[in-house]
Structure 1
Amino acid sequence: MATPAPVALSRLQLTDFRNYRAASLDFDARLIAFVGDNGAGKTNLLEAISLLSAGRGLRRAQLSELTRRDASGGWSVSAVLQGMDGETRIGTGLAPGGGRKVRINGADARSSESLLEYLRVLWLVPSMDGLFTGPAGDRRRFLDRLVLAVDPGHGRRVGDFEKALRGRNRLLENGGSGPYLDAVEAQIAALGVAVGVARRETVSLLRDLVGTRADDSDPFPRAAITLEGAFETLADSAAATDLEDRYRALLAQGRTRDRAAGRTLEGPHRSDPVVIHTAKAMPAGQASTGEQKALLIGLVLAHAELTARIARMTPVLLLDEVAAHLDPRRRQALFARLSALGLQVFMTGTDALLFADLPRDAQRFTVTEATIAVDTPPQ
């Protein structure tokens, strides 16, 4: 397999984004740390980078919420990439009509999905710490982000599937006729199977990679994802060519029940991606808090490696406040793993000592109330 092309941001510019009136940063390193007090604007920088890819960014915020308070217009984020096609300029921001605008090398792009041709962005943020014990919906969104990084069409399929489900629910509520329900259920079945198959394929690839790359002495224990739910049981027992027909029949049979419930009760939108601590053969949600964090980090790192292989370009990784929750041994192991992966990684923390073990060629910035200064590397 060909070596993935290295991709990295060499410049980032913000205008009226969150607490930044204007900011311009130049990068010449793979590992980059932003250090500052809580509320200074460190995570805002990561969020800006996350918006240079498809989707709503790491906070899933409404576009209007991103504009700096008291700003007269909208916001914008732009970057210069060094990648497989040389230098590429990409940008996004709030359009005059309230939607999202995307530009690539000065030309308007059709949608944010176009950015995936040039950049894949992955992240790990504190809000994900309860992923293993929280609601299944959070785990599905997490898994769909994993799938999107290796399958750029997945986000649109998920959106279309959810839209079709809402249409069926309205038909059931309003007493829609059989032919109308037949038509929308055929659409749901086609989209739902495509969503489910993409998830299962990514889970399989990730499981294979984790099984070959980690061992029981690794500071970040092996984690495996399994998909549970009625749809998964159906998919396990049906041939691929029959799955769509069987799911469509299941929807038709469940109309009375779903009408009473006010929602569609069967399908991949109800699947639960359960993470297993493989060394202990138990659900990750039953592990200690420290083990859960280490499992999540290991899973994200494995996914970064898988993304590089499938996309044939290295992703950019965002790690918000990750080092603060690791003991010194795991911090050193994390920085060593990141260096070995060859990714560009942006990290945040409140204490510069957390990044003392970064290599000398790493970049460090101090963030103070939306002001960013370059730090001198430690001697």
Structure 2
Amino acid sequence: MNEPVRVALSRLTLSNFRNHETLALGCEARLVALVGANGVGKTNLLEAVSLLSPGRGLRRAQLDDMVRKGATGGFAVSAVLEGGCGEARIGVGHAPGEAGRRIRIDGEDARSADMLLDHLRVLWLLPAMDGLFTGAAGDRRRFLDRLVLAVDPGHGRRVADLEKTLRARNRLLDDGGSSAFLDAVEAQLAPLAVAVSYARREAVALLGERIATQAQLGLPFPQAGIRLTGPFEGMAGDLDATDLEDAYRERLVEGRFRDRAAGRTLEGPHRSDLAVTHLAKDMPAALASTGEQKALLIGLILAHADLTTAVSGMTPVLLMDEVAAHLDPGRREALFARLSALACQVFMTGTDAALFESLPEGGTIIALSEAGGAEPRPFAG
């Protein structure tokens, strides 16, 4: 088996992004701890890195909201990346009034954001995700689809096409569209639904295998059980793709009156859920303690980083906001050791440099200041 390509940012430059007017950050280390008081822009730096991947970034914010307050133009984020093709330069920018963001790779305009996945995969873990297991099913679907995208670059486009086609069907139902028009839209909808569901199911199965393998390492993060649930998944059963498409089209036809009354399509993979359990306690993750839920989520992300490396052939860039603050010293040390073993580049944030005193050799702490500075601190490791 070939060794995975080690991918890492060596330099990150921001212009008029959030609170940063200009910032140039050298970040060659594998484990990078960004330290500073609240409000200096630590999470903003993580968000900037997240824009180097398809999607809306880790905050799912509007692009205009990312422009520094008082700036007359837009923002720009650029990075120098070391990967399998040597050095690559990636730039992302946005100007007020533009419909989307501009993406340039090695000086050339990118045709789509999916081209970013040829160079790097970006994963993240945020405090806002702490309520993932107790929150809405839609949040878990978005979480799952980000996981799938990291191992299957075509998944984002399939999900977008599915959502677009669902909106078209819902409009037809609302407008009293004819059966012929509905037949045509549902004929497009069924294969998209099956493709999205199959991609999710495969990713969940592969991730489950990685979680089981990781459990043998004795990490202080409980093993999670994961599976897809929902009427569509129950209907899928052991059907092959063609039979499932036919079965779903029949359900759509049968459900037109009900869906018209509801104002939306009530059945499909857009209603599926990711069920997570604490295996050792044989209980839903939603019923676990707050600390156990955090530990389960960390374990999931670590296993997913491992899976991403195995499937894509490149190590991901991992963003972990305030991950160390609520872990005891033993779990912090175990987390840092596992991140080092995974060999992916990791950006972490914290208000206290002491949280990162157990970083392995090769880690670096960068102190951010309110003046917009970024100063590497000596670190023995």
TM-score (norm 1): 0.98
Instruction: Kindly indicate whether residue 126 of structure 2 is the aligned counterpart of residue 132 of structure 1.
Output: no
Counterpart for residue 90 of structure 2: 90
Please give the alpha-carbon distance, in whole angstroms, between the structure 2 residues aligned to 1:73 and 1:26: 25
Q: Is the 8 A contact 2:194 2:241 kept in 1?
A: no
TM-score (norm 2): 0.97
Relative to structure 1, the CA distance from residue 76 to residue 216 in structure 2 (aligned partners, 3 Å threshold; closer, same or farther) is closer
Per-residue displacement from partner, 1:24-65 (whole Å, max 9, x unpaired)? Answer: 111221000001111110000000000011111100011111
- 1:210 to partner: Cα distance: 1.2
Equivalent residues, number:
379
Counterpart for residue 302 of structure 2: 301
Q: Is the 8 A contact 1:147 1:198 kept in 2?
A: yes
Instruction: Kindly indicate whether residue 56 of structure 2 is the aligned counterpart of residue 60 of structure 1.
Output: no
Counterpart for residue 24 of structure 2: 24
Instruction: Kindly indicate whether residue 197 of structure 2 is the aligned counterpart of residue 201 of structure 1.
Output: no
Give SS of 1:324's match.
coil
Please give the alpha-carbon distance, in whole angstroms, between the structure 2 residues aligned to 1:101 and 1:210: 37
Instruction: Kindly indicate whether residue 374 of structure 2 is the aligned counterpart of residue 372 of structure 1.
Output: yes
Task: Look up the equivalent residue of 1:363 and give its one-letter code.
Answer: T
Counterpart for residue 265 of structure 1: 266
Please give the alpha-carbon distance, in whole angstroms, between the structure 2 residues aligned to 1:57 and 1:103: 17
Q: Is the 8 A contact 1:164 1:184 kept in 2?
A: yes
Please give the alpha-carbon distance, in whole angstroms, between the structure 1 residues aligned to 2:127 and 2:94: 26
Instruction: Kindly indicate whether residue 283 of structure 2 is the aligned counterpart of residue 287 of structure 1.
Output: no
Please give the alpha-carbon distance, in whole angstroms, between the structure 1 residues aligned to 2:221 and 2:64: 38
Give SS of 1:25's match.
strand
Q: Is the 8 A contact 1:215 1:222 kept in 2?
A: no
Q: Is the 8 A contact 2:317 2:345 kept in 1?
A: yes
Please give the alpha-carbon distance, in whole angstroms, between the structure 1 residues aligned to 2:157 and 2:28: 34
Q: Is the 8 A contact 1:227 1:274 kept in 2?
A: yes
- 1:127 to partner: Cα distance: 0.4
Per-residue displacement from partner, 1:273-299 (whole Å, max 9, x unpaired)? Answer: 011112222111111111111110000
Q: Is the 8 A contact 1:320 1:348 kept in 2?
A: yes
Q: Is the 8 A contact 1:226 1:275 kept in 2?
A: yes
Counterpart for residue 225 of structure 1: 226
Please give the alpha-carbon distance, in whole angstroms, between the structure 1 residues aligned to 2:160 and 2:144: 14
Per-residue displacement from partner, 1:302-360 (whole Å, max 9, x unpaired)? Answer: 00000001110000000000000111110010000001110100000011110010124
Give SS of 2:176's match.
coil
Instruction: Kindly indicate whether residue 350 of structure 2 is the aligned counterpart of residue 349 of structure 1.
Output: yes
Q: Is the 8 A contact 1:210 1:222 kept in 2?
A: yes
In structure 1, list runs of 5 or more residues that go unmatched: none
Q: Is the 8 A contact 1:319 1:345 kept in 2?
A: yes
Q: Is the 8 A contact 2:33 2:364 kept in 1?
A: yes
Q: Is the 8 A contact 1:216 1:279 kept in 2?
A: no
Counterpart for residue 77 of structure 2: 77
Please give the alpha-carbon distance, in whole angstroms, between the structure 2 residues aligned to 1:8 and 1:226: 32
Please give the alpha-carbon distance, in whole angstroms, between the structure 2 residues aligned to 1:229 and 1:361: 45
Per-residue displacement from partner, 1:245-268 (whole Å, max 9, x unpaired)? Answer: 111111111000000000000000
Please give the alpha-carbon distance, in whole angstroms, between the structure 2 residues aligned to 1:64 and 1:327: 39
Task: Look up the equivalent residue of 1:211 and give its one-letter code.
Answer: A
Residues 316-355 of structure 1 aligned to structure 2 (within 5 Å)? 316-355=317-356
Give SS of 1:12's match.
strand
Give SS of 2:237's match.
helix
Instruction: Kindly indicate whether residue 180 of structure 2 is the aligned counterpart of residue 185 of structure 1.
Output: no
Please give the alpha-carbon distance, in whole angstroms, between the structure 2 residues aligned to 1:186 and 1:211: 39
Q: Is the 8 A contact 1:64 1:98 kept in 2?
A: no
- 1:217 to partner: Cα distance: 4.3
